[in-house]
Amino acid sequence: EIVLTQSPGTLSLSPGERATLSCRASQIINSNYLAWFQQKPGQAPRLLIYGASSRATGIPDRFNGSGSGTDFTLTISRLEPEDFAVYYCQQCDTSPRTFGPGTKVDLK
């Protein structure tokens, strides 16, 4: 099973600031198979990024994914009020699929 580790656990920032979230895998992942989700309280997760760097339909261009091998990054260039949420990375390279534990981006 591929274990995903996310850091930091919590990121306290202000609107307009840049957020950098990390996802590290316990073994090399094909970049095509790494996704990022956003989840707000009481809601299902929403797909932001797939294939490590492709934005899903309707996702603003302030969200950018990058990385390869075992290290992946989600960057939110300028935080908007609606971006304060929990972010999960997930791999579809092998089964069982696995998610990282999440990074909470909260208001400083």
Partner 1 sequence: QVQLQESGPGLVKPSQTLSLTCTVSGGSISSGGYYWSWIRQHPGKGLEWIGFIYYTGSTYHNPSLKSRATISVDTSKNQFSLRLNSVTAADTAVYYCAREIFGSLPRIDYWGQGTLVTVSS
Residue ranges that bind partner 1, judged by CB under 8 A: 32-33, 35, 37, 43-47, 50-51, 54, 56, 88, 90, 92, 95-102
Among 24, 27, 14, CA closest to 76: 14
Considering all CA atoms of the chain, what is the largest pairwise distance in Å, rounded to the nearest integer?
38
Bridge-based pairing of strands 46-50 and 4-7 is: unpaired
Least Cβ distance, residue 15 to partner 1 (angstroms): 25
Please state the closest distance from residue 77 (CB atom) to partner 1, in A: 22
Shortest gap between Cβ of 78 and partner 1 (angstroms)? 25
Signed CA dihedral, 8, 10, 15, 21: sign only = positive
The number of beta carbons lying within 10 Å of the beta carbon of residue 37 is 22
Closest CB to partner 1 among residues 62, 104: 104
According to DSSP, the residues that pair with 6 across neighbouring strands are: 23
- Considering the complex, what minimum distance in angstroms separates the CB of residue 81 from partner 1? 23
